[in-house]
Amino acid sequence: MPVITLPDGSQRIFDNPVTVAEVAASIGSGLAKAALAGKVGGKLVDTSFSIVSDSKLEIVTDKHPDALEIIRHSTAHLLAQAVQSLFPDAQVTIGPVIDDGFYYDFAYKRPFTPEDLAAIEAKMLELSSANLPVQRREMPRDDAVTFFKNLGEHYKAEIIASIPSNEAISLYGQGEWVDLCRGPHVPTTGKLKVFKLMKVAGAYWRGDSRNEMLQRIYGTAWTQEKDLKDYLHRLEEAEKRDHRRIGRELDFFHMQEEAPGAVFWHPKGWTVFQNLIAYMREKQRAAGFQEVNGPELMDRSLWEASGHWEKFGENMFTTQTPDERVYAIKPMNCPGHVQIFRQGLRSYRDLPIRFAEFGKVHRYEPSGALHGLMRVRAFTQDDAHIFVSPEQITAESVAVTQLILDIYRDFGFDDVRIKFSDRPEKRVGSDDIWDKAEAALTEAARVAGIDYTLNPGEGAFYGPKLEFVLRDAIGRDWQCGTLQVDLNLPGRLGAHYIDEHSQKQTPVMLHRAIFGSLERFLGILIEHHAGKLPTWLAPVQVVVMNITDRQDDYVSKVADFLRNQGLRVETDLRNEKIGFKIRAHTLQRVPYLLVAGDKEVAAELLSVRSRSGKDLGQMSSQAFVERLNFELESRGRRTLED
């Protein structure tokens, strides 16, 4: 007689084992119709799952947090069924859920075309309308291998053969079509109504470039039509805001094959890059950080001692000298900062010691993962390491958290989510040390009064961390800043200080990054602002232009005055119509355009126009500077248009 406890605390008693679907039906026909799956004791299951003992049960409908994962997983199977219905010779491989959708990899004799995608999507809609029951069954592993080989599904057979022989294999069928899967899935294909196929790409079997190339079809699926439309709109906006395209249009940077994953900065882009550094340098100075700089090339032995060689070695660039010493180009700054800390005798009275570096690092990223400024092999970190005593962890962590959030606000990011990432599977240090580090970071988060979600197993290999996730103007999330508590690395590298009892103690090291990668942060900024960077950050803040050559001297005089006030100014004295010049600089996202004609020269005024097209009227050079300085001091939270 299983007793089923529902989320509201109410209970239902059944005389015999009962399925999730039957429990839903006992509550109401509406719930039974809406049920997509169940969650029994925290584990997702099919609605056909039989509950044999007392259990906690959640009925998963399209309002449940887990609904999208189940719908997307099931829609991947619908895609595979549609492909094999239209192209019987195609073999299926794997089809997982990914962010915002799913994909499925296929082996087929020719590339799929856009016309094929349209036909596949139409077939999926047909299969959805058929409302085919989705049924689960189990089969011994060896029987499952034989079953799929007989179907001609050699990739599936290879996957199953890699599973331990004592494990039962679960298969899901809808109509006459069957696939290998752990599930769970929706009860019928009729639950899958809101989806769209997006594109086809190549993918190696099992992700190994030595294997054959497969075709990967990407799709997206949602619970509501409105959500799909919103998603497609976000994609359209994201394409308009693509930092690679805007970067070319604004002449910020370029990348080329001779330096994969590295950036060629042009003058305007480098100006913005240096503005980021100048801003962060001032913020760090005010917060008590000392700037340092460590070598980019260090002996392998140091990386072995730190643990990076074992845990991160495959992502490091190395070189060997004629005397056979092996060096690594640094992928991180932390070991270098520990070496600086170790120079000289440190006292507990010196703590906390805050080192910061704009350190150039290199990490090997697969060529297929490279993506403009967002994913590179050579980048600059705004890295900092704070050496503290155990008693100082909380106060210092709170101060760092407040600094991070203040800085994000200056860049227009007011929606910041925080994740707590605990110990990963591959790590250094004992469980006891990890217990202490996680407890210290938890306490710091409590004192700082921040809300966070758990991100299990995603900590650094040497310590747990808080991850700061920015939500941009079109609703995308970007993980940028981190704060990590490290009780491992300082000891491994021999760092110590003398405590109040004249005893040697190992410091705790807090790892802190705010931009993370300056290259990536600039890419995020470009897309967040659609290239219209805040005036304080823009490479060119003002363009002064003439209407005819009679105003040339006046325009040059105004530009010199503005430059002397610390503004980044250009002039446009071309023999072109003023409308043409205004349009050109508006497309370049210049914040303010100043126009001088004969009337403005006579009155020693300027016509001021913003990049949004608003006419701000006439004002003197001095009045413009005073108003603009107010905007610059407020970091763009108030503009001349206000």
What does the alpha-carbon distance between residue 185 and residue 190 come to, in Å, rounded to a whole number?
12
Look at residue 414 and give its three-state secondary structure: coil
> Which residue among the candidates 105, 334, 382, 528 is catalytic per the annotation?
334
> Which residue among the candidates 91, 284, 381, 551 is catalytic per the annotation?
381
What does the alpha-carbon distance between residue 18 and residue 445 come to, in Å, rounded to a whole number?
43
Is 334 annotated in the active site? yes
Helices (H), 287-359: 300-306, 308-312, 334-342
What does the alpha-carbon distance between residue 456 and residue 139 come to, in Å, rounded to a whole number?
32
Helices (H), 426-533: 431-448, 489-492, 518-528
Q: Is residue 17 a contact partner of residue 52, using CB atoms and an 8 Å limit?
A: yes
User: How would you class 305 by CB atoms within 10 Å of its CB: exposed for 0-12, middle for 13-18, buried for 19 or more?
Assistant: middle
Is 465 annotated in the active site? yes
User: For 606-623, b where at least 16 C-beta lie within 10 A, e where not — what string?
Assistant: bbbbbbeeeebeebebee
Total residue count of the chain as it appears in this document: 642
Please name the amino acid found at residue 293. Answer: N
> Which residue among the candidates 39, 73, 244, 511 is catalytic per the annotation?
511
> Which residue among the candidates 46, 116, 382, 383 is catalytic per the annotation?
383
Is 381 annotated in the active site? yes
> Which residue among the candidates 216, 363, 492, 529 is catalytic per the annotation?
363
What does the alpha-carbon distance between residue 625 and residue 619 come to, in Å, rounded to a whole number?
10
Q: Is residue 312 a contact partner of residue 499, using CB atoms and an 8 Å limit?
A: no
Q: Phi/psi at 39 (nearest 5 deg)?
A: -130, 105
Evaluate the omega torsion of the peptide bond into residue 352 and state whether it is cis, within 30 degrees of 0: yes
Q: Is residue 591 a contact partner of residue 530, using CB atoms and an 8 Å limit?
A: no
Helices (H), 200-289: 225-240, 243-249, 267-286
Is 290 annotated in the active site? no
Phi-psi region of 475 (alpha: psi -120 to 50; beta: other; left: phi over 0): left
377: which DSSP letter? S
Q: How far is CA 115 from CA 1, 118, 120, 236, in A?
A: 55, 5, 9, 21
Question: 553-557: long-range contacts at Cβ-Cβ below 8 A with a sequence spacing of 24 or more?
Answer: 554/596, 554/600, 554/601, 555/596
Is 446 annotated in the active site? no
The tokens describing 639, both together, are 């503009």
Nearest CA to 444 out of 410, 399, 479, 502 is that of 399
Helices (H), 540-611: 552-564, 578-587, 598-603
Is 185 annotated in the active site? no
> Which residue among the candidates 73, 268, 308, 465 is catalytic per the annotation?
465
> Which residue among the candidates 39, 123, 330, 385 is catalytic per the annotation?
385
Provide CB contacts within 8 A for 338, sequence distance 6+. Answer: 306, 385, 489, 490, 493, 495, 509
Catalytic residues: 334, 363, 381, 383, 385, 465, 511
